[in-house]
Amino acid sequence: MARSDDLLVLVSALVLASCSPGPDKPQAQTAASPAPAPVAAAPAPTAATPAATAVPGPVAGTRITEAYARMLTRDAYFWAWPMANIYNKRLAFAKAPEPGLLGGVLPFAPPNRISMLTDYVDPAERAVACPNQDVVYGGGILALDQSPVVVQVPDFGNRFWVYQVVDLRTDSFADLGAMYGTQPGFYLLVGPDWKGDVPAGITKVFRSTTNTGFIGPRAFQDDTPEDKRAIQDVISQIDAYPLAEFDGRMKKHEWAKLPHFPQPEGGGAETKWVFPETFIDQLPLLLADAKPLPGEEPRYAALRELIDVAQKHPELKAAMADEARRADKELVAPLFEFRNFGVQLPYHWSTVDNGAAFGTDYFTRTAVGKSNILVNKPNETKYFYQDLDQDGQRLNSRNRYTVTFANGQVPPVKGFWSLTMYNQHHFFEPNAIKRYSVGTKNKDLHKAADGSITVYVQTDEPTDPAERANWLPSPKNEDFSLYVRAYWPEAAVTSGQWTPPAVVKRR
């Protein structure tokens, strides 16, 4: 396990070194020779400033109070929550005997491999909140300390596609997608310390700053039987595998024949991936996997002090576990609600402008991790979140709503757009027409005489044929959320010039 140095803050230093030129041998001066210019006196020597200064950090063995231990734990739990989420997915996926489907619905594969769906994700999926039914998904865990990973990119033609590749922090480290002009071929993902040889046939290497990560291919699919058949050939060539298996040839995988693995029974909420009671025990693994970002060295030193105290003082460790539970309830849980974070927009919509590029924005990183983890970068996909109607009231299926896109005012994209319905747990709620989103994939959306498109959000089926064509069923007897995706957004979306229209309660 990698070990970070003690607290060390590098202080930039300007080393002033002045030296006067050595005396030249005087030359004879003649009447024709001009007088030499005056020479300024050399400045007095100054003491050189050290290039780096070591700043003392925590001293091992120092006694700390319970209140201080709780404070550090609370901050650490919030900071590390997305990292623990991804790391525990790695531990779970390591149990997969081969690529398959967990519960018959979730891509599930051993580390450094992927599994692919062959159609939209099933509404029964409960492992990752806010799935969408616009793309065919794949997924897999990266363990780059075990091996570099080869990623296959087939020829998608005109079909929109993007591979999400993120590190333990959920920050993207590979640009693979239609918006990048990525060519078909083979790409290599490597860990922070890998120093091997890149074999011939690899187009580009992407280096992660952490050993653990996640890869999630996405390929757009129309909501038609024809496109569901047409996409199968290209999907069969999407793959990822350890470098040792690379032979320069495009492998094909019959994803429709994947084995199904049982999963434990769960409730309606997302699978629990972060565990407050074992957080302190897991924290050393997270610190070892993700080396500190610039400026994070003092944080890492303080957390190692916390770990040392927990190992030596059981009563303080128990207090830390209790505080982690409190932090989970009081700090993290409220961020499941979209209205509690993000950049605020007209009509109570919100968004984030740094998805998958969080860096040291720990608040947004954890908020996104809790509410809808594994988002793309904004230039790949822009997300807009909604919990409230135009009047600021919570969206609830007791009411009927409309969302009207004026003529020419659907999200401006080069890829596709969609408006998705999520139940109170940020998942799909089964409905009679099996519709969970509307957008580019729908070929039969009704346009009004003025060119506008109105989406009717309600539990009961509309009686008017035009409204029925644009019906987005809401779940029964509960709060719900709406969610706009703009894949490969135009500049009007990423700059904030375009924002979604109001969700209007029907009177």
Per-residue pLDDT, 55: 85
Report residue 230 as tokens.
């047409």
> What does the pLDDT read at residue 27?
37
Q: Report DSSP letters for 88-136, one per residue.
A: HHHHHHTT-SSSEEETTTEEE--TT--EE-SSSPPTT--SSSS--SSEE
pTM of the complete model: 0.88
Tens of pLDDT, residue by residue over 275-305, are: 999 999 999 999 999 999 999 999 999 999 9
- Beta-bridge mates of residue 218: 137, 162
**Percent of the chain topping pLDDT 90:** 85
Q: Is the pLDDT of residue 135 over 70?
A: yes
10, pLDDT greater than 60:
no
Handedness of CA 406, 412, 416, 421 (dihedral sign): negative
Quick: pLDDT tens for 24-73: 333 333 333 333 333 334 444 444 445 557 788 888 888 999 999 999 99
* 120 or 45, higher pLDDT: 120
pLDDT at 267: 77
pLDDT digits (tens, 9 = 90+) for 62-107: 899 999 999 999 999 999 999 999 999 999 999 999 999 999 999 9
H-helix or E-strand containing 46?
A: none
Q: Judge whether 462 and 346 are in contact, CB under 8 Å.
A: no
The pLDDT value recorded for residue 50 is: 52
Answer yes or no: is pLDDT of 147 > 50: yes
pLDDT for res 52: 59
* pLDDT value of residue 44: 47
